[in-house]
Amino acid sequence: MLHTYESYQIKNLHLKNRLVMAPMCMYRSDISGQAKDFHRIHYGTRAFGGTGLIIQEATAVTANGRISGRDLGLWEDRQTPGLASIVSQIHEGGAKAGIQLAHAGRKCTVAEEQIVAPSSLACDEESRLPHELSQAEIAEVVLAFSDAARRAAEAGYDVLEIHAAHGYLIHEFLSPLSNQRTDEYGGPLENRLRFLQEIITAVRQVWPTGQVLLIRLSATDYLPGGLDIQETVRMVDQIKNQVDLIHLSSGGLLTVPFRTYPGYQVGFAETVRSKCQVPTIAVGLISCLEQVEDILGNGRADLVALGRELLRHPYWPLNNRCTDQDEGCPVPEPYKRAFS
Ligand SMILES: Cc1cc2nc3c(=O)[nH]c(=O)nc-3n(C[C@H](O)[C@H](O)[C@H](O)COP(=O)(O)O)c2cc1C
């Protein structure tokens, strides 16, 4: 039996296998932030392809929290039914549905929107200078996350991921390179973590208790003075009682060259898993079954996310299974003649 196709239970979430589709922005909505046929087809196809958990792309909690004018959004009630139709499609394909809730912070490129950040520091020379959030405005963003989480529960998502990575608003609070505040949201780690902790607490109040809440973090900024894996471990130690899984990515705060190679971020998932004793998801240039088996078989992570590989090969899980793996990756009834 391959580890890849073993089931996984955490809280009331039962996954048929260990494969996760990483959240990937498709920029295929429009200014309404509503789901389109593209999204139903795109996510439904990966579900029919055998992936256990699909984490939908970054979905904005406010209009100025979008990266682009074509992001999916969940900042108003009328966006809920469209997203519920993506969930139905994913469930129809036999997978569990996750949503990634996000605020782009200073990386919002929508011309009409005011961009915001913990401090008024642009991410590069081409970007606009962000407005520094006041404490009252921080409270509004926290509320926007919990309102979006309530809508996500109404839409039927099984899993909620808070996007705290890749240089977006929450990561901007976490990293000392982008957070130069002198109030209780800046300075020592405990203060930089406050915004994320407030979001987690607010989301927990509306997200059903038995359902999984996970956090995606950038384990390092790859820059001196920025976040590194040691600080990430300390951060996870402080939030782990409130969250169920940690999804370890890296980078994205500032443009900086770093070396990527197959599995380049797996060490972060492994370190956090062993040091903090929390379940983790590994991601990053993972594309073959041997890699997934190594990660799971050696206890380096609990789940493995594939990103671009699933854009190239939506049926990867079905195509890599062995014939005796019907439970971990059942062939959809209409496709059975192709797999017998
Ligand atoms: C087209 C594309 C869009 C992405 N959008 C998101 C996103 O919405 N949220 C996120 O956390 N990461 C996003 N990422 C990063 C992926 O989730 C993943 O971490 C990264 O691609 C590395 O995994 P891979 O090598 O398997 O593709 C995106 C990546 C790609 C290629």
Per-residue pLDDT tens digits for 157-185: 999 999 999 999 999 999 999 999 999 99
Residue 323: predicted pLDDT: 76
The residue segments making up the domain with residue 295 are 3-339
Residue nearest to atom 23 of ligand 1 (CA): 284
Q: Is the CB of 26 under 6 A from ligand 1?
A: no
> 55-103, pLDDT tens digit by residue?
999 999 999 999 999 999 999 999 999 999 999 999 999 999 999 999 9
> 37-60, pLDDT tens digit by residue?
999 999 999 999 999 999 999 999
Q: In percent, how much of the chain has pLDDT > 90?
A: 96
Q: Is residue 248 a contact partner of residue 283, using CB atoms and an 8 Å limit?
A: yes
Is pLDDT above 90 for 235?
yes
Amino acid type, 127: S
Q: Which atom of ligand 1 is nearest to the CA of 216?
A: 11
Mean pLDDT, the chain, integer: 97
Q: Tell me the best of 19, 24, 107, 304 to mutate to test the pocket of ligand 1, counting ligand atoms within 8 Å of each CB and taking the most.
A: 24
Residue 262: predicted pLDDT: 97
- Cα 278 to Cα 330: distance, rounded to the nearest angstrom: 29
Tell me the CA–centroid distance for residue 99 and ligand 1, in Å.
Answer: 14
Amino acid type, 65: G
Q: Give the single-character DSSP code of 184.
A: T
Q: Is the CB of 284 under 6 A from ligand 1?
A: yes
Domain count for the chain? 1
- Cα 58 to Cα 79: distance, rounded to the nearest angstrom: 14
133, 140, 216 from 137: Cα distances, Å: 6, 5, 23
Q: Is the CB of 263 under 6 A from ligand 1?
A: no
Residue 81: predicted pLDDT: 98
Residue nearest to atom 11 of ligand 1 (CA): 23
Residue 27: predicted pLDDT: 98
Q: In percent, how much of the chain has pLDDT > 70?
A: 100
Q: Which atom of ligand 1 is nearest to the CA of 58?
A: 8
Residue 80: predicted pLDDT: 98
Tell me the CA–centroid distance for residue 166 and ligand 1, in Å.
Answer: 10
Residue 211: predicted pLDDT: 98
Tell me the CA–centroid distance for residue 307 and ligand 1, in Å.
Answer: 6
Q: Give the single-character DSSP code of 118.
A: S
Tell me the CA–centroid distance for residue 2 and ligand 1, in Å.
Answer: 26
Residue 16: predicted pLDDT: 98
Identify the CATH number of the domain in which residue 302 sits. 3.20.20.70
Tell me the CA–centroid distance for residue 309 and ligand 1, in Å.
Answer: 11
Token code pair at residue 155: 């839409």
State the sign of the Cα–Cα–Cα–Cα dihedral 236, 57, 316, 262. negative
Strands (E), the chain: 8-10, 13-15, 19-21, 53-60, 72-73, 96-102, 116-117, 131-132, 159-164, 212-218, 245-249, 280-283, 303-306
Tell me the CA–centroid distance for residue 102 and ligand 1, in Å.
Answer: 13
CB atoms within 10 A of CB 56: 28
- Cα 241 to Cα 338: distance, rounded to the nearest angstrom: 45
Measure CA 25 to chain center: 11
Tell me the Ramachandran region of residue 47: left when phi exceeds 0, alpha when psi lies from -120 to 50, beta otherwise.
alpha
Residue 324: predicted pLDDT: 73
Residue 257: predicted pLDDT: 87
Measure CA 98 to chain center: 9
> 286-334, pLDDT tens digit by residue?
999 999 999 999 999 999 999 999 999 999 999 999 877 778 999 999 9
Tell me the CA–centroid distance for residue 324 and ligand 1, in Å.
Answer: 31
Q: How far apart are the first and last CA of the chain?
A: 19
Q: What share of the chain is helix, strand, coil (3-state, %, to 5)?
A: 40, 15, 45
